[in-house]
Each structure stands twice: as structure tokens, then as C-alpha cells.
Amino acid sequence: MGWKNWAYWLRSGFSGVIIELLTIILLFVTRVIRYEERVVYCITAPCPHFKGFITPFENLSSIHPQQFIYLLLLLMLIFFVVGAVIGLIYGKIKSKKSVSE
């Protein structure tokens, strides 16, 4: 079963997870999030202790890697659900248009 044959909600859910993963990778590459000596330092979100989206480099938030992994899994679930809801709505609208035509 190919990607094109999946239901809209499933395609959108996986698209949301892929967007989230690419964002996290981009944040690691740009050193906004960095891992040093068993501590993950974050300048911005997704760390829970951020003080806004733009903070000075002196105010890095730090969390343990295990907490960071739990946070990433939670974000993946949230992005999947949001994508699935958007895909479900899109699928309902598209199916109504195809029935009316």
C-alpha cells in the first residue's frame, strides 16, 4: 500500500511528525539545541523552561537527555494528532465536493 493510497488523516499525521523531526534536526544543526556532557541546552522551544522564543545565550535552559527524549515523543504525538485532525477535516471536505460533482 503506497503513500498515495493512505487515508488523508494518516498522511497528514505522518507529515506532521516529519515536520517536527526536521525542525528538531534543524535546531540541532544550528546549535539552538545542543548536547554537552549529559545535558541538553536549549535557547528556545521545545525545552519547557524557555523564557520566550528569543532569549540571550547566557540564559540557556538545561534539561536531562531523558527528559528531552520524553519531550520529543510528546511533541511527535501532538504533531501527529494535529496533522491527523487537519487531514480528517480535509478528507471530509474533499469527499463532500466529490459527491456533489
The structural domain count of the chain equals 1
> Considering the chain, what is the average pLDDT of its residues?
76
User: CA 35, 64, 37: angle at the middle one, nearest 5?
Assistant: 40
H helices within the chain, ranges in order?
8-29, 65-100
- Tens digits of residue pLDDT in 33-57: 777 766 666 655 555 554 444 444 4
Residue 38: which domain range?
8-100
pLDDT at 56 (0 to 100): 41
> Kind and range of the H or E element at 33?
strand 33-36
Residue 57 placed within a domain: yes
Q: Is 54 left (phi over 0), alpha (psi -120 to 50) or beta?
A: beta
- Tens digits of residue pLDDT in 66-97: 777 877 888 889 889 999 999 999 988 888 87
SS3 3: helix
Q: Which cell numbers hold the place of 53?
A: 522564543
pLDDT for residue 32 is more than 90: no
Residue 43 placed within a domain: yes
**Grid cell 488523516 in the structure block, residue:** 9
